[in-house]
Chains A and B, each alone.
Chain A
Amino acid sequence: MKRLILVATVAATALATAHARAEDIVIGAIYPLTGNAAQVGLDAKAAYEVEADIINTTHAAIPMVMGKGGGLDKLGGAKIKLIFADSQNDPQKARAEAERLITQEHAIAIIGSYTSATAATISQVTERYEVPYMSADNSSPSLNQRGLKWFFRTSPHDEMFSAAMFNFFTEIGQKTGHKVKSVALFYEDSIFGSDSSNVQRKLAADQKIDVAADVKYRANSPSLSAEAQKLKAANADVILPSSYTSDAILILKAMAEIGYKPKAIMAQAAGFQEQAFLTGAGDLAEGAMSRSSFALDATKSRPAIAPVNALYKAKNNKDLNDNTSRDVTALAVLADAINRAGSAKPEDIRKALTETNIKGSDTIMPWAGVKFDETGQNTLGTPVIQQVKGGVYHTIWPFDVAVMDPVWNVGQ
Chain B
Amino acid sequence: MNAITQRRRREAITAALLLAFLIALPLPIHDVYTRNLFIITLLFAGLAQSWNILGGLCGQISLGHSLYFGIGAYVSTLLFVGPHISPWLGMCAAFGTAGLLALLVGWPCFRLSGHYYAIATVVVQEIGYLLFLNWDWVGAASGVYIPFRGESWLGLQFRTAKLPYFYLTLAFATLTWLIAWWIEGSRLGYTFRAVKDDAIAARSLGVRIFPSKMAAAFISGGLTGMGGAIFAQYVGYIDPDSILSGPLSILIALPAVLGGVGTLWGPLLGAAVLIPLRELSSTFLGGSGSGVDLMLYGALIMVVALLRPQGLVSLFPRAKTEAAR
Give A residues with C-beta under 8 Å from B.
Answer: 1-2, 5-6, 8-9, 12-13, 16, 33-34, 38, 41-42, 45, 83-86, 88-93, 95-97, 99-100, 103-104, 116-117, 120-121, 124, 127-129, 142, 146, 189-191, 193-195, 216, 218
> A99–B134 Cα gap in the complex (Å)?
31
Q: How far is the CA of A92 from the CA of B293 in the complex (A)?
A: 18
Q: Given A9-B34, A41-B289, A104-B31 in contact, is the A96-B279 Cβ separation under 8 Å?
A: yes
Provide the residues of chain B in CB contact with A189, threshold 8 Å.
133-134, 140-141
Q: Is B273 at the interface (CB under 8 A from chain A)?
A: yes
Taking CB atoms, residues of chain B closer than 8 Å to A142 are: 142
A276 to chain B minimum Cβ distance, whole angstroms, is 16
State A191–B140 Cα separation when bound (angstroms): 8
**B280 and A121: CB pair below 8 A?**
no
From B84-92, B97-105, B205-213, B233-241, the one touching the partner chain is: B233-241
5 closest A-B pairs by beta carbon, nearest first, are: A86-B286, A33-B289, A100-B33, A103-B32, A84-B287
Cβ 8 A contact of B141, one of A9, A100, A190: A190
Beta-carbon contact of A88 and B141 below 8 Å: no
19 residue pairs bridging A and B, Cβ less than 8 Å apart: A2-B25, A9-B33, A13-B31, A33-B286, A34-B289, A86-B286, A89-B241, A92-B231, A99-B33, A100-B36, A103-B32, A117-B143, A117-B242, A120-B237, A128-B159, A128-B160, A142-B142, A189-B134, A194-B142
B272 within 8 Å of A by Cβ?
A: yes
Q: Are A93 and B282 in contact (CB under 8 A)?
A: yes
Q: Is the C-beta of B185 less than 8 angstroms from some C-beta in chain A?
A: no
A103 to B32, CA, bound (A): 7
A164 to B133, CA, bound (A): 29
Residue in A12, A33, A195 whose Cβ sees the most chain B Cβ within 10 Å: A33
Give the contacting residue for B140; candidates A16, A91, A194; CB below 8 A: A194
Query: Which chain B residues lie closer than 8 Å to A95 at the CB level?
Result: 235-237
Closest A-chain residue to B282, C-beta based? Answer: A86
A53→B321 CA distance, assembly (Å): 60
Q: Do B236 and A121 touch (CB < 8 A)? A: yes
Quote the shortest CB–CB distance from B303 to chain A (angstroms): 17
Contact B37 A9 (CB under 8 A): yes
Alpha-carbon distance A216/B136, docked complex (angstroms): 13
Distance in Å from the Cβ of B7 to the closest Cβ of chain A? 23
When the two chains form their complex, are residues A45 and B143 in contact, meaning their CB atoms are under 8 A apart?
no
**Residues A12 and B293 in contact, CB atoms below 8 Å apart:** no
User: In the complex, A16→B284 CA distance in Å?
Assistant: 9
Distance A99 CA – B161 CA, assembled complex (angstroms):
11
Most buried by A among B32, B134, B269: B32
- Closest-by-CB residue of B relative to A41 is B289
Contacts of B283 in A (CB 8 A): 12, 85-86, 97, 100
Contact digits for B273-294, partner A, Cβ 8 Å, 1 yes 0 no: 1001001101110111101011
CA distance A304 to B239 in the complex (A): 40
In the complex, given contacts A1-B273, A96-B279, what are 14 additional A-B residue pairs having Cβ atoms less than 8 angstroms apart? A8-B280, A9-B280, A33-B289, A34-B282, A34-B294, A86-B283, A86-B287, A121-B236, A127-B148, A128-B159, A128-B160, A191-B141, A193-B141, A195-B142
Docked CA distance A100–B32 (Å)? 7
Are A85 and B32 also in contact (CB < 8 A) when A96-B279, A128-B159 are? no
Cβ of B181 within 8 Å of any chain A Cβ, yes or no, is no
Give the A-B contact count at a CB cut-off of 8 A.
Answer: 122
In angstroms, how far is the closest chain A Cβ from the Cβ of B144?
10
Question: Cβ of B32: which chain A residues have Cβ within 8 Å of it?
Answer: 99-100, 103-104
Q: How far is the CA of A116 from the CA of B239 in the complex (A)?
A: 11
Q: Closest Cβ of chain B: how far from A407's Cβ, in Å?
A: 34
A38 touches B289 (CB 8 A): yes
Query: What are the residues of chain A within 8 A of B40 when measuring CB–CB?
Result: 92, 96
Q: Is B190 interfacial (CB-CB < 8 Å)?
A: no
B286:A91 contact, CB within 8 angstroms? no
When distances are taken between beta carbons in the complex, the residues of chain B under 8 Å from A5 are 37, 272, 276, 280
A173 to B61, CA, bound (A): 61
| Chain A residues within an 8 Å CB radius of B31 | 13, 103-104
B130 at the interface (CB under 8 A from A): yes
B145 at the binding interface (Cβ < 8 Å): yes
Complex Cα distance A92/B32, Å? 14
B235, A121: Cβ atoms under 8 Å? yes
A88 touches B286 (CB 8 A): yes
Q: Which residues of the other chain, A, contact B33 by a CB distance below 8 angstroms?
A: 9, 13, 96, 99-100, 103-104
Q: How far is the CA of A329 from the CA of B15 in the complex (A)?
A: 55
**One of B140, B143, B148, B272 near A120 (C-beta < 8 A):** B143
CB neighbours (8 Å) of B236 from chain A are 95, 121, 124
Q: A124-B148, A124-B236, A129-B160 are in contact. Are A92 and B242 (CB under 8 A)?
A: yes
User: Which residue of B141, B237, B280, B282 contacts A91 across the interface (Cβ within 8 Å)?
Assistant: B237
Least CB distance from B152 to A in Å reads 14
Q: How far is the CA of A194 from the CA of B60 in the complex (A)?
A: 38
A91 contacts which chain B residues (CB < 8 A)?
A: 235, 237, 239, 242
Distance of A33 Cα from B284 Cα, bound (Å): 12
How far is A124 from B233 in the complex, measured between Cα atoms in Å? 13
Residues of B within 8 A of A84 (CB): 287
Question: Does B27 have its Cβ within 8 Å of any Cβ on chain A?
Answer: no
Cβ of B154 < 8 Å from any Cβ of A? Answer: no
